[in-house]
Structure 1
Amino acid sequence: MIDSLHGEVLSIGLDHAVIECAGVGYRFLATPQTLATLTRGENRRVMTAMVVKDDGVTLYGFGGAEDREMFHKLQTVTGLGPKLAVAALSVFDAAELSTHIAAGDAKKIQTIPGVGKKMAERMVLELKDKVEAPLPDGGTGGAEAASRAGGASSYASEQVVEALVGLGFPERNARPVVEQLIADEPERDASALLRQALTQLGKK
């Protein structure tokens, strides 16, 4: 079982990346959010999950243990495989999914590509007792977030532009889209920004 990879990022694709560890290049599938944290030529660590099936072995990569844990939980749902689990984590992170499942919000879960009404209801039914909804921000949490907004937006902008370039989009096309999205909604985090940018660029 390969629990994690740590080494130089050799390449980044639309849905995968390759990290070299001790002279061996490991290809893994990942969400846009995870891919956005990688930079070609730099050393990175990703958490991994290995799925073994009759037709082969597939490695999946995650930016953190929470998303990997949710990936495993999702696959305990009847009829839900690893590809759909990755699709779910491409739309919502682990905390967001936990919130929607705990709240029984099947309609929100249906926004995941490939998830219909029956599957969304099944996810709520079978996972509701297995997830914990994150606690809401309390006290000064909101104020602290607001005070960081300017710097965070600038950092998120560069991070997402870099990720989009790594995914094959020219910087001259990616940067204006990202900057406009931040201007419209400065509090949008990097993951949400990347998802929206991919949607906008896909229309062009």
Structure 2
Amino acid sequence: MIHSVRGPVLEIGLDHAVVEVGGVGLAVHATPNTLSRLRRGDEARLATTLVVREESLTLFGFADTEERELFLLLQTVSGIGPRLALATIAVLEPDTLRAAIADADLAVLTRIPGVGRKSAERLVVELRDKVAAPAPATAAVGAGTSSAAAPSPVLGVREQVVEALLGLGFPQKPAEQAVDGVLAASPDADASVLLRTALSGLGRSR
């Protein structure tokens, strides 16, 4: 397993970053919160895990080892794969997720796109005894003073952000409404801010 990567950030997208390791650019999929801490040209260190499928090898990166362990733990629950596990971490902070599972707080767990009441109950049943008390986060992401690089404008900012939300499992109409709502309040918001704000609003509305 690729346990971590460290190197200069070559590119930052809405759902991944490219980190150069030994002359090779590795695409690392991550949450908007993790990506927002990266800066193009700065060195970053990400805790990672490699998901191997018959047709693909996908590298996922995390701000710290706690997020990575939660990502792996979530996938032990029947019906939860890497995409839903990443969406869970994107919507809920680790402490919030652990507390919701420990307290069987279904209202919080159903904020996650693709998780209904039955799935939330399954999360509680299968993980309640495995979730430890929240541990202090270990910073693993390099930070600089330069501005985050915006994704290549192949699509408009609105379309890019809607597409990223769809990739996290949100239905198209709520995703579009959330993005349009943020744009109405902040017309000049860049893609990363727009995505984080829309994601926050979608999580509260579920």
Q: TM-score, normalised by structure 1?
A: 0.70
1:195 maps to which residue? Answer: 196
User: Residues 24, 34 of structure 1: CA spacing in aligned structure 2 closer, same or farther, 3 A cutoff?
Assistant: same
1:20 to partner: Cα distance: 0.3
Cα deviation digits, residues 42-65 of structure 1 (max 9, x gap): 111011010111121110000100
Structure 1 residue 117: Cα displacement: 1.1
Q: How many residues align?
A: 160
Larger % of helix: which? 1
Structure of greater Rg: 1
What is the Cα-based RMSD across aligned positions, in Å? 2.9
Quote how far apart the aligned CAs of 1:133 are: 4.0
- Say whether 1:166 aligns with 2:150: yes
* Higher RCO (CA < 8 A, seq sep 6+): 2
Question: How much does 1:132 deviate?
Answer: 2.5
1:45-194 aligned within 5 A? 45-134=45-134, 162-163=147-148, 166-167=150-151, 173-174=188-189
Counterpart residue identity of residue 35, structure 2: L
SS in 2 for 1:100: helix
Mapped to 1, the partners of 2:150 and 2:47 lie a distance apart of: 20
> Cα offset for 1:198?
5.6
Q: Distance in 2 between matches of 1:98 and 1:194?
A: 24
Runs of 5+ consecutive residues of structure 1 not aligned to the other structure: 136-158, 179-192
In 1, Cα distance between equivalents of 2:197 and 2:24: 34
Tell me which amino acid in the other structure corresponds to 1:77: V
Which residue of the partner structure matches residue 29 of structure 2? 29
Partner AA of 1:16 in structure 2: H
Identity of aligned residues (%): 49
Q: For the Cα contact (< 8 Å) 2:18–2:26, is it kept in 1? A: yes
On the 8 A contact 2:77/2:123 being kept in 1, the answer is yes
CA distance in 2, matches of 1:167, 1:97: 29
Decide whether the 8 Å contact of 2:91 with 2:199 is kept in 1.
Answer: no
